[in-house]
């Protein structure tokens, strides 16, 4: 634990940022609140068990809702008879899909989900009816008394079969070919570029069907007030305002009569980034019975309703010139959408965007389609749209490096982008330390000394990755600010930040307090954060796409301009100097030229508010719209769908594995990571995000997969057969924050919660190759696959170039 | 048929009317009103509902409440020290960044307490082995292990009730 | 997910328990740790009318381990007690290890040795080493006790040699022979919280020369409806001094005997592969341990 004490924990600036001696007026980076590993503001209540999650709440008169779920993956609902359920004492009401047929969807153009199934079920476990009852036991018993008559339809579980049999079976009447969306993006002359390449490689990659496995199952508590028509929803969600809007659509209640409040949230990882049936059902039942209704999922319902990562079937071709520079990429992606559209179109085009970074790619072609199947829908899951193509590309680069006879590190360094890079699809990277990430991870792990040189069964692999920061797809189809915040300063409440940002466990409330304190020259403990409420806080898109620290930071900075100006003006009058000479730091206001002129910050606040009342200011943030706009003509161009990311976070990882060649078990022994997250607002939280990211995808790479039988029924909707990593699977982790500051970003920040999941799949896959000379193109990589591959390798002559005894 | 039973939770005796089938988790959360004990899976797989029964970590989601009469049950709320101070394990979890979403935290802390009560000087392997029934999806476990190691040191130095 | 309604009994003495078991018969289930029972009841796989909670019966708990006299372990002894018992660790390390690898810490503090057997799951951990060590079980009823080898007690998936009115009350472990050693191993996808795809125990006893195998018992779990005792391995190895070739042959023989199934945890083919690997490793390990090296 000594290392912890000597680490940057309580230092005012992170390691490497020592700006001692730099005059305050010259340095905007000398932070006192940002860059500190302060403990989370919600830490104490969480360790005491006092944090209140939705499922912990009770309201007067509250009753319980439960959802009746389909036992078919694809069937017409012939009849639902719930008369017997209604007769059960304690049952208040039963609803079916017909009572709320309005379609909702996180992407407005493709909205095709209903609160409960209407006329037809499209996946096993889809909700067909819901019960409200006085207690949970009765609600559950009532479900057994609901008779549903189905007419089974053919079940399509594979996207290729789904497309092939579309003439015979359509999952959605309005989606010919069973395709949600098909798209193509071509930049440059790909075929010509390939013709001129020295090294060309084409491979097919297939990813699995993992799920978030957040520990807190979905929970929603709705309270509808029949007297004034107001609906208050407490929900375990990442996206209060998305939810707000979807509720308005489905319940046909005006938005100003709906309030969404977030209690503590037990993790999301993208899985709570859409509305959930629990939320609609709680609201619908509450409106119908006129009492608060709580709906909390069982663990199997979390699996039934899924929204996890898309299985992707990718054909990837990459070409390098004789010197190893990437000349072209051809990428074909068939995504398994599951039953409903969800984030589908957005994810499809994110996978297209992911081709263009973190390497220079002059020519690229993307063809992709998102295909409906009778599986629980896929959606957003940590590193959305990036994880699958990143796996394919980083593995392909590993193979290409071998083909060229150079180190993968050399190949990646050669092609890595630098600050100020404009991609061929017009994405612009103002700042990157990606090369530093690669270099740090490689040096600290001893990759070059070990790669290709370890004994059979031991291997080391590297990979890089990146993720967007500060942007998101917006559901309103206009470019209103993505995040708005309000800051109020007075002598009563001190400093309060009002916003709708969702702290889902990642720690945004702590980080926002640090940023407000930094900008206002006070301490983070002085800042109260009122977040996650659509009535208290102004519009915020939500916690996803690694947008929040950047977006909130920018909005906070903007809000602080006016507040600081007014406080300085007041102080200037009190001190007898000019306001623009004043600096606020450490709760003191002083002149940068005459240090004797100083005054406690509260005094100026007191003086201001005694004349004017509370000081209130708004700030907001919209990402730029560069991507999707041709800079010369100003016209919209391909790839416009996902907006532009103002900056990007980067990560590089080196994984060391041991393969038990007799049992096929893979043990990840050590991970060395280096990340460019810009300024780490809270380095301890950054480490937590990175360590969490590594374990998250280590699980999906080696253990996790949702399995369905031929009828589409779940085989492992539980944590004993859906195998997330335990403490026993934890490798040694050495995570490093490389020195980085993005001058275009608020406080120089970038993301860290999703970039670090990107390299994990390929680094492990490449390490396995280094260990046993077998490349895997399917996930998860199971012991059975390893044994089978080793057997095949023995029977065919070994053509791998690894220097090992095979 | 409900019957009145006494449950000793955190050194306070609660009189509750239970059905034989009522699970300890539901009784603690709904009838006693201590919601710090969480339900993550309800099937004994995730450890979020861990409580100490006579000092040993057990899973409240698969434990009958009626079977806990006469036993000393400790939930996360029972760890608080004099004057509202945090227990060394709780303090270490805060200081070492071992808490993110917090949903696994109460169970994790109680498993750690069960371990340290039995074995005050655990190795890293001991900690991993005894905490492996508590799933955490946020932290990657590293800071949790560090926090337990740190708590063990504080504990052996300063002692705790 | 709620349990069905049932009547709950918490006897305090063995006789009282046996009286209830006799009276309530197959409509009752015995509740020891409940880590399996509660889960199957929640899933509505079974809905017993009565539960007999034996946790209040002191006589069903405890480890009685005396020098030279084997050991007796009460049916409701928690796996954690076995895992941490110095006496068991010294005399029956394979059992202590197997007990310590069941589920999680919480499960081990709840689950009992008797439950791990009586659940009669093919993937159960502790029956494998217990059978390998020649453990017997005592089955009691109001009309008296009988003892039988554990391998005869478990008949198949969720099937036991238990008549109406009978219950398992204790395990009787023989004193390990001089120059003998038993070892246990398992394979799953993770290193915790696993339902084993294969587990195995090997017990080897050597002759006075410390090299010739006098007795060997290889028991496989999760590859057959009940713990599968290899017939071919003793046939191959008894009277022999073990060599790598011989061990390989024995491992292959065990592999041939295993009759695993395909399920979500592993394919039959993989399980067979693992049988061979574990057999090879355990034979070597147990042989070395028996030789005292």
pLDDT at A642: 54
Average pLDDT over every residue of A681-692: 96
Same structural domain for residues B130 and B101? Answer: yes
Domain boundary among B78, B104, B134: B78
Overall number of domains in chain B: 2
**A724 to B135: CB separation less than 8 angstroms, yes or no:** yes
H/E element, A330: strand A326-338
Chains touching C by CB (3 or more pairs below 8 Å): A, B
pLDDT digits (tens, 9 = 90+) for A362-397: 999 999 999 999 999 999 999 999 999 999 999 999
Distance of CA A521 to CAs A386, A426, B151, C120, Å? 38, 38, 34, 66
User: Which of A703, A720, A716 is closest to A780 using CA atoms?
Assistant: A703
Select the residue from A10, A37, A689, A727 to test the B interface by mutation, using most B Cβ atoms within 10 A. A727
CATH assignment of A57-153+216-267+272-300?
3.90.1170.50
| Chain C residue whose CA is closest to A780 | C189
Distance of alpha carbon A377 from alpha carbon A337, whole angstroms: 6
Q: What is the sign of the dihedral through the CA atoms of B38, B39, B41 and B44?
A: positive
Distance of alpha carbon A416 from alpha carbon C85, whole angstroms: 57
Contact status of C190 with chain A (Cβ, < 8 Å): yes
**C189 to A703: CB separation less than 8 angstroms, yes or no:** yes
**Helix, strand, or coil (residue A27):** coil
User: For chain A, what percentages of helix, strand and coil (3-state, to nearest 5) are there?
Assistant: 30, 25, 45
- Considering only CB atoms, which chain C residues are within 8 Å of B51? none
Question: At B33, which CATH number?
Answer: 3.10.20.30
**B20 to C103: CB separation less than 8 angstroms, yes or no:** no
Residue C158 Cα, gap to closest chain B Cα (Å): 20
Confidence band, pLDDT 50/70/90 cuts, at residue C54: very high
User: For chain C, what percentages of helix, strand and coil (3-state, to nearest 5) are there?
Assistant: 40, 25, 35
pLDDT at A474: 67
Tokens for C183, please give them: 């070892």
- Considering only CB atoms, which chain C residues are within 8 Å of B67? 8, 10, 31, 34, 53, 55
Higher-confidence position of A23 and B25? B25
CATH assignment of C180-291?
3.30.390.50
pLDDT at A30 over 80: no
b/e map of A717-753 (b: 16 or more CB within 10 Å)? bbbbbbbbbbbbbbbebebbbbebbbeebbbbbbbbb
Compare CB distances from C55 to B67, B115, B132 and report the shortest one's residue.
Answer: B67
Distance of alpha carbon C241 from alpha carbon C209, whole angstroms: 10
Same structural domain for residues B85 and B137? Answer: yes
- Considering only CB atoms, which chain A residues are within 8 Å of B86? 44, 47-48
Contact status of A81 with chain B (Cβ, < 8 Å): no
Compare CB distances from A137 to C2, C193, C264 and report the shortest one's residue.
Answer: C2
Contact status of C51 with chain B (Cβ, < 8 Å): yes
Confidence band, pLDDT 50/70/90 cuts, at residue A626: low
Higher-confidence position of A285 and A28? A285
pLDDT at A32: 85
b/e map of B72-101 (b: 16 or more CB within 10 Å)? ebbbbbbbbeeeeebbbbbbbbbbbbbbbb
| Chain C residue whose CA is closest to B126 | C105
b/e map of A601-626 (b: 16 or more CB within 10 Å)? beebbebbbeeeeebbbebbbbbeee
pLDDT at A594: 86
> What are B's interface residues with C at a Cβ cutoff of 8 A?
19-21, 23, 42-45, 47, 50, 56-59, 62-64, 66-67, 111, 114-115, 118, 129-134
Residue B112 Cα, gap to closest chain A Cα (Å): 12
Confidence band, pLDDT 50/70/90 cuts, at residue A627: low
- Considering only CB atoms, which chain C residues are within 8 Å of A783? 187, 189, 270
Tokens for A305, please give them: 């309703």
Average pLDDT over every residue of A222-237: 98
Same structural domain for residues B98 and B112? Answer: yes
Contact status of C264 with chain A (Cβ, < 8 Å): yes
pLDDT at A284: 98
pLDDT digits (tens, 9 = 90+) for C252-280: 999 999 999 999 889 999 999 999 999 99
Same structural domain for residues B18 and B59? Answer: yes
pLDDT at A16 over 70: no
Distance of CA C276 to CAs A408, C162, C199, Å? 37, 33, 11
Q: What is the sign of the dihedral through the CA atoms of C185, C187, C191 and C192?
A: negative
User: Which of A178, A160, A180 is closest to A344 using CA atoms?
Assistant: A180
Query: What is the per-residue DSSP string for A477-533?
Result: SS---SEEEEEEEETTTEEEEE-----SSS-HHHHHHHHHHHHHTS-GGGEEEE-SB
Contact status of A297 with chain B (Cβ, < 8 Å): no
| Chain B residue whose CA is closest to C35 | B62
**B64 to C53: CB separation less than 8 angstroms, yes or no:** yes
pLDDT at A147: 98
b/e map of A451-464 (b: 16 or more CB within 10 Å)? beebeeebbbbbbb
Compare CB distances from C5 to B21, B58, B62 and report the shortest one's residue.
Answer: B21
Residue B83 Cα, gap to closest chain C Cα (Å): 30
Residue B145 Cα, gap to closest chain A Cα (Å): 8
pLDDT at A797 over 70: no
| Chain C residue whose CA is closest to B70 | C56
| Chain C residue whose CA is closest to A730 | C191
Q: Answer yes or no: CATH 3.30.465.10 is held by domain C62-173.
A: yes
Q: Answer yes or no: CATH 3.30.365.10 is held by domain A481-621.
A: yes
pLDDT at C105: 97
If you average pLDDT over every residue of chain C, what do you get?
A: 96
Distance of alpha carbon C116 from alpha carbon C237, whole angstroms: 30
| Chain B residue whose CA is closest to A691 | B140
Same structural domain for residues B107 and B64? Answer: no
Tokens for A35, please give them: 């860059």
Same structural domain for residues B99 and B42? Answer: no
**B141 to A53: CB separation less than 8 angstroms, yes or no:** no
Confidence band, pLDDT 50/70/90 cuts, at residue A346: confident
Q: Could you give phi then psi for residue A126, rounded to 5 degrees?
A: -65, 145
pLDDT digits (tens, 9 = 90+) for A497-507: 999 999 999 99
Q: Classify A576 in phi/psi space as left (phi over 0), alpha (psi -120 to 50) or beta.
A: left
Confidence band, pLDDT 50/70/90 cuts, at residue A4: very low
Tokens for A769, please give them: 């190759």
Decide: B70 and A658 in contact? Cβ < 8 Å. no
- Considering only CB atoms, which chain B residues are within 8 Å of C38? 23, 44, 62-64
- Considering only CB atoms, which chain C residues are within 8 Å of B111? 105-106
Strand partners, A616: A488
| Chain B residue whose CA is closest to C54 | B67
**Helix, strand, or coil (residue C180):** strand
Give the least confident one: A601-615, A636-650, B92-106, C40-54. Answer: A636-650
Same structural domain for residues B39 and B88? Answer: no
pLDDT at C136: 98
CATH 3.30.390.50 domain extents, chain C: 180-291
Average pLDDT over every residue of B14-24: 97
> Dihedral through CA A652, CA A658, CA A663, CA A664, nearest 10?
30
Confidence band, pLDDT 50/70/90 cuts, at residue A6: very low
CATH 3.30.465.10 domain extents, chain C: 62-173
Q: HSE of A161 in the Cβ direction (CA atoms, 13 Å)?
A: 9
pLDDT digits (tens, 9 = 90+) for A278-331: 999 999 999 999 999 999 999 999 999 999 999 999 999 999 999 999 999 999
If you average pLDDT over every residue of chain B, what do you get?
A: 96
Non-local (6+) Cβ contacts of A23 within 8 A are A592
Contact status of A724 with chain B (Cβ, < 8 Å): yes
User: Which of A429, A304, A295 is closest to A357 using CA atoms?
Assistant: A429
Residue B116 Cα, gap to closest chain A Cα (Å): 17
pLDDT digits (tens, 9 = 90+) for C85-96: 999 999 999 999
Same structural domain for residues B59 and B89? Answer: no
Same structural domain for residues B153 and B86? Answer: yes
pLDDT digits (tens, 9 = 90+) for A522-566: 999 999 999 999 999 999 999 988 999 999 999 999 999 999 999
| Chain A residue whose CA is closest to C193 | A720
- The domain of B35 spans 3-78
pLDDT digits (tens, 9 = 90+) for A727-774: 999 999 999 999 999 999 999 999 999 999 999 999 999 999 999 999
Interface of A with C in 701-720 (CB under 8 A): 703, 707, 715-716, 719-720
| Chain A residue whose CA is closest to B142 | A691
Decide: C185 and C278 in contact? Cβ < 8 Å. yes
Distance of alpha carbon C208 from alpha carbon A37, whole angstroms: 65
Residue C66 Cα, gap to closest chain A Cα (Å): 35
**B63 to C34: CB separation less than 8 angstroms, yes or no:** yes
- Considering only CB atoms, which chain C residues are within 8 Å of A658? none
If you average pLDDT over every residue of chain A, what do you get?
A: 92
Interface of A with C in 718-757 (CB under 8 A): 719-721, 723, 725-729
Residue A101 Cα, gap to closest chain C Cα (Å): 29
Tokens for A278, please give them: 């629990």
CATH assignment of A312-473+648-795?
3.30.365.10
What are the extents of the domains in chain A? 57-153+216-267+272-300, 312-473+648-795, 481-621
Domain boundary among B24, B44, B78: B78
Chains touching B by CB (3 or more pairs below 8 Å): A, C
User: Which of C158, C157, C163, C170 is closest to C75 using CA atoms?
Assistant: C170
CATH architecture for the domain at C7-55 = 2-Layer Sandwich (3.30)
Higher-confidence position of A153 and A585? A153
pLDDT at C23: 96
pLDDT at A28 over 80: no
Average pLDDT over every residue of C135-160: 96
Same structural domain for residues B48 and B85? Answer: no
Confidence band, pLDDT 50/70/90 cuts, at residue A645: confident
Give the least confident one: A636-645, C69-78, C121-130. Answer: A636-645
């Amino acid at each position: 634990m000594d290392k912890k004490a000597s680490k940057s924990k309580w230092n005012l600036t992170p390691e490497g940022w020592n700006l001692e001696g730099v005059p305050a007026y010259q340095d905007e980076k000398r932070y006192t609140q940002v860059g500190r590993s302060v403990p989370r503001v919600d830490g104490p209540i969480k360790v005491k068990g006092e944090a209140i999650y939705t499922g912990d709440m009770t309201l007067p008169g509250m009753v319980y809702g439960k959802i009746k779920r389909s036992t078919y993956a694809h069937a017409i609902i012939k009849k639902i008879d719930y008369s017997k359920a209604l007769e059960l004492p304690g049952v208040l009401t039963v609803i079916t899909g017909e009572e709320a047929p309005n379609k909702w969807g996180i992407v407005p153009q493709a909205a095709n989900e209903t609160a409960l199934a209407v006329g037809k079920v499209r996946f096993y476990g889809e909700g067909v009816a819901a019960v409200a009852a006085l207690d949970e036991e009765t609600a559950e018993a009532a479900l057994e008394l609901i008779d549903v008559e189905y007419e089974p339809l053919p079940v399509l579980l594979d996207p290729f079969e789904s497309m092939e049999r579309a003439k015979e079976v359509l999952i959605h009447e309005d989606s010919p070919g069973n395709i949600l969306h098909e798209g193509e993006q071509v930049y440059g002359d790909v075929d010509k570029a390939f013709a001129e390449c020295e090294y060309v490689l084409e491979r097919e990659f297939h990813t699995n069907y993992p799920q978030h496995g957040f520990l807190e199952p979905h929970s929603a508590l709705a309270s509808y007030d029949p007297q004034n028509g107001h609906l208050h929803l407490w929900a375990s969600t990442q996206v209060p305002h998305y939810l707000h809007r979807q509720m308005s659509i489905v319940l046909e209640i005006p938005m100003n009569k709906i309030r969404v409040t977030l209690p503590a949230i037990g993790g999301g990882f993208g899985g709570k980034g859409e509305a959930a049936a629990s939320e609609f059902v709680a609201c619908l039942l509450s409106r119908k019975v006129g009492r608060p209704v709580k709906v909390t999922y069982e663990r199997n319902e979390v699996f039934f309703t899924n929204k996890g990562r898309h299985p992707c079937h990718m054909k990837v071709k990459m070409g390098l010139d004789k010197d190893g520079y990437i000349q072209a990429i051809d990428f074909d992606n068939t995504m398994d959408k599951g039953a409903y559209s969800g984030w589908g179109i957005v994810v499809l085009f994110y996978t297209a965007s992911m081709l263009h970074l973190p390497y220079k790619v002059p020519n690229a072609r993307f063809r992709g389609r998102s295909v409906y199947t009778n599986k629980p829908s896929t959606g957003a899951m940590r590193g959305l749209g990036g994880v699958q193509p990143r796996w394919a590309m980083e593995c392909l680069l590993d193979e290409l490096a071998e083909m060229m006879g150079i180190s993968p590190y050399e190949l990646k360094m050669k092609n890595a982008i630098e600050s100020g890079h404009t991609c061929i699809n017009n994405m612009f990277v103002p700042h990157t330390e990606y090369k530093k990430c690669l270099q740090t991870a490689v040096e600290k792990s001893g990759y070059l000394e070990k790669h290709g040189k370890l004994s059979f069964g031991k291997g080391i692999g590297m990979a890089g990755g990146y993720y967007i920061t500060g942007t998101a797809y917006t559901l309103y189809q206009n470019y209103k600010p993505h995040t708005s915040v309000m800051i109020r300063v007075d002598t009563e409440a001190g400093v309060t930040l009002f916003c709708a940002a969702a702290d889902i466990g990642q720690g945004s409330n702590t980080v926002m307090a640090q940023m407000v304190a930094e900008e206002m020259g006070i301490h983070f403990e002085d800042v109260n954060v009122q977040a996650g409420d659509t009535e208290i806080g102004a519009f915020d898109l939500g916690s996803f796409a690694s947008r929040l620290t950047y977006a909130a930071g920018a909005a906070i900075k903007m809000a602080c301009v006016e507040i600081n100006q007014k406080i300085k003006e007041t102080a200037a009058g009190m001190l007898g100097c000019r306001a623009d000479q004043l600096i606020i730091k450490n709760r003191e206001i002083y002149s940068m030229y005459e240090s004797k002129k100083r005054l406690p910050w509260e005094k100026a606040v007191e003086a201001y508010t005694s004349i004017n009342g509370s000081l209130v200011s708004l700030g907001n943030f919209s990402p730029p719209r560069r991507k999707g706009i041709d800079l010369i003509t100003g016209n919209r161009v391909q790839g416009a769908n996902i907006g532009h990311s103002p900056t990007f976070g980067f990560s590089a990882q080196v994984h060391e594995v041991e393969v038990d060649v007799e049992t096929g078990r893979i043990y990840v022994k050590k991970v060395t990571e280096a990340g460019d997250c810009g300024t780490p607002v809270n380095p301890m939280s950054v480490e937590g995000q990175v360590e969490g990211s590594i374990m998250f995808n280590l699980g999906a790479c080696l253990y996790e997969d949702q399995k369905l039988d031929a009828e589409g029924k779940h085989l492992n909707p539980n944590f004993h057969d859906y195998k997330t990593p335990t403490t026993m699977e934890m490798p040694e982790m050495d995570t490093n924050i490389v020195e980085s500051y993005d001058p275009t970003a608020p406080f120089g920040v970038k993301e860290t919660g999703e970039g670090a999941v990107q390299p994990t799949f390929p680094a492990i896959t490449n390490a396995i190759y280094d260990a046993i000379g077998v490349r895997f193109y399917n996930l998860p990589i199971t012991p059975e696959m390893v044994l089978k591959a080793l057997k095949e390798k023995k029977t065919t002559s070994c053509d791998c170039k690894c220097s090992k005894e095979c | 048929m409900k019957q009145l039973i006494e449950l000793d939770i955190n050194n306070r005796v609660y009189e509750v009317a239970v059905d034989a089938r009522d699970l300890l988790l539901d009784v603690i959360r709904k009838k006693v009103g201590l919601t710090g004990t969480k339900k993550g899976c309800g099937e004994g797989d995730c450890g979020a509902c861990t409580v100490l029964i006579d000092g040993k970590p057990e899973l409240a989601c698969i434990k009958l409440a009626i079977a806990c009469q006469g036993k000393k049950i400790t939930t996360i709320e029972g760890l608080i020290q004099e004057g509202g101070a945090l227990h060394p394990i709780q303090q270490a979890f805060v200081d070492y960044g071992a808490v993110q979403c917090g949903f696994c935290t109460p169970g994790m802390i109680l498993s750690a307490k069960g371990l340290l009560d039995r074995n005050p000087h655990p190795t890293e392997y001991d900690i991993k082995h005894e905490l492996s029934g508590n799933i955490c999806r946020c932290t990657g476990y590293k800071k949790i292990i560090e926090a337990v190691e740190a708590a063990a040191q504080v504990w052996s130095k300063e002692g705790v009730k | 997910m709620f349990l069905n309604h049932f009547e709950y009994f918490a006897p305090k003495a063995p006789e009282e328990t046996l009286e209830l078991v006799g009276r309530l018969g197959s409509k009752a289930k015995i509740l020891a740790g409940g880590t399996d029972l509660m889960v199957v009841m929640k899933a509505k796989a079974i809905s017993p009318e009565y539960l007999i909670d034996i946790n209040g019966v002191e006589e069903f708990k405890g480890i009685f381990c005396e020098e030279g006299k084997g050991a007796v372990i009460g049916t409701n002894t928690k796996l954690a007690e076995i895992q941490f018992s110095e006496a068991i660790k010294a005399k029956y390390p394979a059992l202590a290890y197997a007990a310590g690898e069941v589920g999680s810490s919480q499960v081990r503090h709840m689950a009992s040795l008797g439950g791990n057997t009586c659940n009669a799951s093919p993937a159960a951990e502790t029956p494998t080493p217990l059978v390998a060590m020649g453990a017997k079980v005592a089955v009691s009823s109001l009309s008296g006790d009988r003892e039988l080898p554990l391998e005869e007690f478990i008949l198949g998936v969720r099937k036991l040699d238990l008549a109406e009115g009978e219950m398992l009350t204790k395990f009787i472990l023989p004193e390990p022979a001089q120059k003998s050693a038993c070892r246990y191993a398992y394979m799953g996808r993770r290193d915790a919280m696993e339902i084993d795809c294969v587990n195995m125990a090997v017990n080897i006893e050597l002759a006075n020369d410390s090299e010739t195998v006098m007795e060997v018992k290889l028991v496989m779990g999760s590859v057959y409806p009940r713990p599968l005792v290899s017939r071919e391995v003793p046939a191959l190895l008894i009277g022999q001094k073990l060599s790598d070739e011989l061990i390989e042959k024995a491992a292959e023989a065990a592999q041939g005997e295993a009759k695993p199934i395909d399920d979500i945890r592993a394919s039959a083919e993989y399980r067979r592969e693992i049988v061979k690997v574990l057999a090879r490793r355990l034979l070597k390990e147990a042989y070395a341990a028996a030789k005292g090296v």
